Amino acid sequence: MDDAPAIRIEGLSKHFGDVVALDDLTLTIDHGEVFGLLGPNGAGKSTLLRLLLGFLRPTAGHAWLNGVDVADVHEAHRGVAYVPGDVSLWPKLTGAECLDLLGNLHGAVDAPTRDALIERFALDPSKRARTYSKGNRQKVALIAAFATRADVLLLDEPTSGLDPLMEQEFRHCVEQVRDQGHTVLLSSHILAEVEQLCARVGILRQGRLVEVSGIDRLRDLHAGELEVDIDGPPPDLSSVAGVEGVERTPTGLRLQITGPPGPVLAALAEVDVTGLRSREASLEEIFLTYYGDSS
């Protein structure tokens, strides 16, 4: 099914007794896309990935990976790699033996790529897995996943335990597989990571997908900040299109604006502006508008 999307989800729900972990989720992710899945613990991110992997059976709905129903676990797992947020390894095996075993389980590993990844992630593969820190266990899983050259990578908090340098190496790897046409579903609460890597994001709240949009579009929907220094009395901009809030400052005004700044700039043309500073909303600020204090 070459024309099928990389990931297709329709009406997917999962209940654990009276607890609704995932509620009627519908989503399509294309080939070559890095899609970010955002939400706090308990929002349903890990439940969704486990449903896609066939670890859980849905209460309702269906999902497909590369056109294959995830209920057909053996077939659906071909061309799919998975990295959980808390990796467990075989304690008596070395890192190299763990990588060999993970590669054999997958069935298709690019050995030169794996060796290069071991160097890039600064992993000592001769050590026993029981001696590895959480970060090193995470490195093993990431190396195994990227070495498979899988069509679809399902990554659930993949940089948990990594130091900043290794987080940056991870981002380079994601960019490389994306440029090669592979698909990444990245579940994370590290907003800077998602903001750097993903063109589109989905925000989960209490099992429901409350927003799916490009990051630029999300920023357009939420207030950015414009600080204006003015020589003389500031104008009344409260009724200008896109202005959501106005605050006086010692040197002028601080404005909360949505959408393009054109109407505000046109209104400011009538006064003597001596300084202008803008700041667009971060993904974290956008994210918090969906949750507030009720996450």
> What percentage of residues in the chain have a pLDDT greater than 70?
97
Query: Model-level pTM?
Result: 0.82
* Ordered structural domains, the chain, with CATH: 7-215 (3.40.50.300), 222-291 (3.30.70)
pLDDT tens track for 182-211: 999 999 877 888 888 998 999 998 899 998
Q: Looking at the predicted structure, is the pLDDT value of residue 295 above 50? A: no
pLDDT tens track for 125-136: 999 999 999 999
Q: Considering the chain, what is the average pLDDT of its residues? A: 90
Q: Looking at the predicted structure, is the pLDDT value of residue 124 above 90? A: yes
What would you report as the CA-atom Rg of the chain, rounded to the nearest whole angstrom?
A: 23
